[in-house]
Copies of this chain bind each other. A is one copy, B any other.
Amino acid sequence: MFYVAGKRMRSEVSTLTLASNHLLDALPGDVRDAVMRELERVTLPLRTTIYEPGERIGYVYFPLDGIISVVTVMRDGTQIEVVTIGREGISGAQGLLDDGMATALTFVQIAGDYYRLSFERFVALCARYGPLRALVEKYLSALLDVMAQSIACNRLNYVNQRIARWLLMTHDRVWRDEFRLTHEVLATMLGVRRAGVSIAAAGLQQAGCISYSRGRFTVVDRTGLEGAACECYAAIEEAYARRRS
C-alpha cells in the first residue's frame, strides 16, 4: 500500500509542482524564505497518525495536496470528524495557544505531500516573525468559525448535503478530480452509517455529480455538487477566505 501510494504520487508530479500552502503563500517574502528554509517536505500515506490525544505535538504540518482529519473519539470508540485541514491551513497550530499538547486524534485522510516543521521551531519562528504568528492566529480564528458552522451543520443538514460538502471541500484541497476514499471512511467522518453514505452517494452519482468505485471518488460535475451541498460549504470557505485579505 505504501508503494502504491508512492506510485500515485510520482504519476502526478505535474500537479504537485503547482501545489502550495495558502499560509505559506501569504507570508511576506523575507519571512517566507526564513520559514521555508526550515521546512521538511514529506509524503504521507493514508492513515498516518499525526497526533494522538495527550501526546506532545511533535511537528506542525502544512498540507500541500493532502488532507488531514481531526476527529473526536467517543468512549465507545466512535469517531467523528471535527475539521479537515488542507492547503488553506496548518495542523498543530492550536498548540501555540496552550502547552503544545495534542487533544484530538489527528491523521492523514488523503495521502499527499506536506511540509513539516518541529513544533519547537514553529513556536520559535512564530515568536520571531510577527507576520507568521498573525497569519496562524487568523487561521485559528477561522477554525473557530468553521467549527461553529460544523456544529450547526451536523445537527441540521441531511446526510447527502453533508456528503456533497465534504467532497467539495476535498476537491478544493487536493487539486485533483479523483481521490481515494471509501464509503466506510466517509460514513465515519460524518457520523452516519456506511449504508447511509452508499445510498446518498448513489444519488449523487445518478445525478451525474460524481462517480466512484471501490475506494475511489471522482468529481464529475462540480457545479452540480455545489447545488447539492448545504449552505455550510460556502459559509466555511468564506470563513477561510475572509482571512486572506
The chain A residues found within 8 Å of chain B, CB to CB, are: 70, 72, 74-75, 78, 80, 82-83, 94, 96-98, 103-104, 137-138, 140-141, 143-145, 147-152, 154-156, 191, 231, 239, 243
**In the bound complex, what is the Cα–Cα distance between A154 and B150 (angstroms)?**
10
- In the complex, 8 of the A-B residue pairs with CB atoms within 8 angstroms, ordered by the A residue number, are A72-B151, A74-B231, A82-B152, A83-B148, A98-B243, A103-B144, A151-B151, A154-B154
Beyond contacts A72-B149, A140-B140: 6 other A-B pairs, Cβ-Cβ < 8 A, are: A70-B148, A80-B155, A96-B137, A98-B141, A147-B148, A151-B154
**In the bound complex, what is the Cα–Cα distance between A156 and B151 (angstroms)?**
12
Chain B residues, CB < 8 A from A72: 148-149, 151-152
**In the bound complex, what is the Cα–Cα distance between A72 and B145 (angstroms)?**
9
The residue from B74, B103, B148 contacting A145, defined by CB atoms under 8 A apart: B103
CB distance from A162 to the nearest CB of B (A): 10
Number of chain copies forming the complex: 2
The residue from B80, B145, B148 contacting A152, defined by CB atoms under 8 A apart: B80
Assess A94 versus B144: contact at CB under 8 Å? Given A74-B231, A155-B191, A156-B74: yes
- Does B156 lie within 8 Å of A78, measured CB to CB? yes
CB distance from A229 to the nearest CB of B (A): 13
- Does B98 lie within 8 Å of A152, measured CB to CB? no
- Does A97 lie within 8 Å of B137, measured CB to CB? yes
- Does B191 lie within 8 Å of A148, measured CB to CB? no
Chain B residues, CB < 8 A from A141: 94, 97-98
Assess A152 versus B231: contact at CB under 8 Å? Given A140-B140, A145-B103, A239-B103: no
- Does A147 lie within 8 Å of B140, measured CB to CB? no
- Does A156 lie within 8 Å of B80, measured CB to CB? yes
**In the bound complex, what is the Cα–Cα distance between A241 and B145 (angstroms)?**
23
With both beta carbons as reference points, the residue of chain B lying nearest to A231 in the complex is identified as B75
- Does A152 lie within 8 Å of B74, measured CB to CB? yes
CB distance from A236 to the nearest CB of B (A): 11
